[in-house]
Amino acid sequence: MTAFFLHPQGICETTEVGEGTRIWAFAHVLPGARIGRDCNICDGVFIENGVTIGDAVTVKSGVQLWAGVTLGERVFIGPNVSFTNDKFPRSKQYPSVYSRTTVGDGASIGANATILPGITIGIGAMVGAGAVVTRDVPSRAIVVGNPGGVVGYAGAVEVDASRDTLPEDYGASLVRLAPHVEPRGRLFVANDGVVPFTPKRFFLVDKVPNGQTRGNHAHQSSQQFFVAVSGQIVIAVDDGRRAYAITLSHPGIGVYLPPRIWSMQCGHSDDAALLVLASDAYNKPGYISDYREFCSISSRAA
């Protein structure tokens, strides 16, 4: 048993509590729960057996952690956040297996949010206060609303592509196509050289519901070029050090994405259609889809 603080009016029935952790008044930890080091378990928190909590986690008042909840390191759980583990609860009817909820390292869940059963919340994600989370949350995604939808990328600088630029020393860049407005219509031309690679394939994405995301990966060696051919889309780009959330709302502006830049697309308007040109044929091993692995690669590269 390690050295941790227990308020005289708190109850702790487990021995698996890390050093430096504090458990406050009217909190109640059941036997079998495992809590890491340097955590802060505030007044009135209730923790069931079968819960695992990493180091340096904060759990504010009014929170219950049910069997099946796993919190990574440095997770923040705001006051009155509600977890669940049964999709269709009925009194005295118990599912054979409870749904599991996992919150990734460094993620935060804002006050009074509700997490539906079976959700995984990615590394560094930010769930807004009062949100009702009904779908998995990608790494670093910001979720708000009821039902919760993704509205941004945590830590990203916002860039309006119709007005702003990216820093010159950043890997990704914005490319502007000259508009030709004629009586017969509007024309955008990207002559040879405008896109800094020879496209090997392209794809089109449309009908993405607002609040949903796509992408959430980087490429080992492939380059990409994004154009919002209709509507509005946010392209989040992240090189492991700096991140930008680029709003594209004009078919005459493209985003160039070199290898080893993580990207997430979100904020699609109803009429959004995204054209993506890629420098290479499809190559599944070339995808980096684990954000933790991406961070380790990008820090080695730096």
- Pick out residues in 249-288 that bind its own copies (CB under 8 A): 251-252, 268, 271, 273, 275, 277, 280-282
Q: Which letter does DSSP use for residue 209 in this model?
A: P
Asked whether the beta carbons of 136 and 102 are under 8 A apart, the reply is no
How near is the Cβ of 87 to its own copies at its closest, in Å? 9
Q: Is 53 in the site for its own copies (CB under 8 A)?
A: no
**CB-CB neighbours of 41 under 10 Å:** 33
Nearest to 291 by CA among 260, 265, 268: 260
Non-local CB neighbours of 300 within 8 Å, separated by 6+ positions: none
Q: Is 159 in the site for its own copies (CB under 8 A)?
A: no
Q: Is 187 in the site for its own copies (CB under 8 A)?
A: yes
Q: Scanning residues 200 to 259, which ones bind its own copies (CB under 8 A)?
A: 200-209, 212-214, 227, 229-230, 251-252
Q: Is 5 in the site for its own copies (CB under 8 A)?
A: no
Number of residues that bind its own copies (CB under 8 A): 89
Q: Which range, of 21-29, 167-175, 238-246, 294-302, touches its own copies by CB under 8 A?
A: 21-29
Among 38, 118, 120, 269, binds its own copies (CB under 8 A): 38
Window 54-73: contact mask with its own copies (x via CB under 8 A): --xxx-xxx-x---------
Distance CA(213)–CA(145), nearest Å, equals 15
Non-local CB neighbours of 96 within 8 Å, separated by 6+ positions: none
Q: Which is it for strands 120-121 and 262-266: parallel, antiparallel or unpaired?
A: unpaired
Q: Which range, of 86-94, 159-167, 168-176, 234-242, touches its own copies by CB under 8 A?
A: 86-94
Which pair of tokens denotes residue 223?
């380059």
